Amino acid sequence: MSDLNVNTFKARRAEIVKRMDKNSVLLISSAKLVSRNNDTTFPFRQDSNFYYCTGFQEPNSVMLLHSNGHSTLFCRQKNPELEKWDGFMWGPEAAKDSFGFDEAYDINNIDDILPELIRGNETLYALVGKNIDFDSKITNWINSANSKERHQGNIDLKNFSNILGSMRLVKDDEEISLIRKSCEIAAISHRNVMQKVEVGMTEYDLECMYLNEFKVNGSREASYTPIVAGGARACILHYINNNQQIKDGELVLVDAGCEYGMYASDITRTYPINGKFSAEQKAVYDVVLAAHNAACDAAKIGTPCTNPQKTSEKVLSEGLLDIGLLTGSLDEVLENKLFREFYYHKIGHWMGLDVHDDCPYSLDAEEVKFEKGMVMTIEPGIYVNDSADVDDKWKGIGIRIENDILITDDGFENLTSDVPVEINDIENLMKS
């Protein structure tokens, strides 16, 4: 079963119905098992949108929701022999009762049943572009249904992604509780590893330590492949090779979060493998920290979700000028976006069921404004590549600081504040 009550998912489906046109249906597919090699698969992880609407944790499933509120689930038939190999399967009847659906059918019969269920409706909503194979099946089902309605209008296909995404933007109390727990586990794990690192360790040594800490503290899975980047490799944003030794005097950037109850956390810390920042490392780190703190303060109810980005660009630019990595005036740097040589990503992203939550940043050409219950990461960084036209003492320094913030009535709550960010606090933790 889900970590959430079945009534939570029924309530979500009822809310979705309010956002649908009359005489319409919504189709959402589960995730599929993904082949790893030959006859083995990667561990199954349910599609976040499907889970959000159903709470159902099996592959090869489809939800049909009618604008009149009637809900249908297609799923695998109960198979005791297969269960001996792959584990428990709900089957349509048990799934219908346990997950609050009005009816349920064997997924093997969907091509015969579903066209009849959608026939006569004016609109079919789907998450267009999320799953190309499923999009193709939808087209076939629509064509089959339309072919039987010679005296009525055809069914129009419309994208429901932004509508569902806007629902997922604001987290309810149950979701916040799960995110908070995920953040708590990730924070404990980061602190514990930072106390154990030693010069000479490899990146994969640290990766193993983080993954172990997640599991020991209550999370079965990481929410994404961890980034463990020593030295200049920290300037590669999506570095996941994690296979090099971290040398004395180098910083290590660790971007690692976990899942709890399907909900993600996402933390990045940058610290010296020997426990002591150099003068240049301190200088760059202080700039990133100032940008991080200012960006968090810029996240307030009613303000555009781009405010933290703009704030971070200004503060980072000021800092880069102060320490000499950029030259010229602040206006020139901002107008020409010269800071992008060292800061080439966005300030953060929505977070929830996905670590990069599938939620919009603009709706109807207007920026989304912060509301109570939204969760966003704040993660400014400075990355001085070896190819940069700067003094050699700066080269190879890559620093990012990332926390997960919850928008509240009073501004924001830092859900990952238990992991230190101040230089003195980091160095003291690593000594303990």
Give me the active site residues, please.
39, 238, 255, 266, 345, 349, 356, 379, 383, 400, 402
**Token pair of 329, please?**
């005036």
Pairing of strands 103-106, 71-75: parallel
Which of 79, 72, 78 lies closest to 101 in space, CA to CA? 72
- Pseudo-torsion of CA 51, 54, 58, 61, nearest 10°? -110
Distance spanning both ends of the chain, measured CA to CA: 41
Give the CA radius of gyration of the chain. Answer: 24
**Cα torsion 25, 51, 5, 106: sign:** positive
* C-alpha dist (Å) from residue 387 to 206, 341, 394: 27, 11, 11
* DSSP label at residue 178: H
Q: Regarding beta strands 411-414 and 221-222, do their DSSP bridges make them parallel or antiparallel, or are they unpaired?
A: unpaired
